[in-house]
Amino acid sequence: MSDIKRCTRCILPESLSNITFDEEGICNHCRKYEADFKNWDSIKERKFKEFEEILEKAKKLKRPYDVLVPLSGGKDSTYALYLCTKIYGLKTLAVTLDNGFLTRPAKDNIRNALASCNADHIFYSINSKNSSELFKIFTEKTGDFCNACMRGINYSIEFAAKSFNIPLVIKGSGRRVQSVSQIKEVSSLNTASYFANVIRGTDAGNKFRYLSADKNKLEFQKIAGGGSVIFLA
């Protein structure tokens, strides 16, 4: 293992398909990120203004909620909730997926965060037996159960946003995380179509197909850039 060449910056290995290294030992993925965001300091003020304009447009729609915040109980989503409610005064709905394995500290953090602001909140709960069944299927067929969890999280977001006609979703994530998620060799797919393909033909196919409802519409929005999702971090 020690003989494997790795990127001197992100430590991705040479065994990864389509990876290349420059004379400094830095991989093409790091260089792409650098190229995409090297001028961030020069444009951040403009981006900040654009961000605030988006928030103002959402407010003017006068819907029940201006924004949806997926709340996991972690620091990033809690910070997003703080910004929406305390800094910008947005009418905020938070949503949390509890797949039966949400930890007690996470639940405590969620309760404390909600007690400190005026956001409403929805717990979307999946029975732990059902979650375990999904995890088993994904582990056996793909070697990775994270996709089953992520599809549940995304479904809870889609469900709440659609139910309350919410124009914005603000997530506690950042440029680096989203950049890595675009490297198909190291990131897990969590699209509705991928989920549907994995459960097809299994005993759980009918039980869980609702999690991939409207998959064609969702994939089109993803490709076309539809939907207003903002990442903060």
C-beta neighbour count of 119 within 10 angstroms: 22
Asked if residues 57 and 85 have their Cβ atoms less than 8 Å apart, the reply is: no
Q: What is the pLDDT of residue 91?
A: 97
Q: What is the residue-wise DSSP string for 116-166? A: TS--EEEEEE--HHHHHHHHHHHHHHHS--HHHHHHHHHHHHHHHHHHTT-
Q: What is the pLDDT of residue 218?
A: 46
Q: Report the DSSP beta bridge partners of residue 125.
A: 98
Residues of the chain with pLDDT under 70: 1-2, 175, 177-178, 181-182, 184-190, 214-233
**Gap between the Cα atoms of 130 and 149, Å rounded:** 11
**Gap between the Cα atoms of 161 and 100, Å rounded:** 22
Q: What is the pLDDT of residue 187?
A: 62
146 Cβ contact list (under 8 Å, min separation 6): 188, 190
Please name each of the domains of the chain with its CATH number: 1-38 (no CATH), 40-231 (3.40.50)
Q: What is the pLDDT of residue 82?
A: 96
DSSP H or E run through 178: helix 175-181
C-beta neighbour count of 213 within 10 angstroms: 13
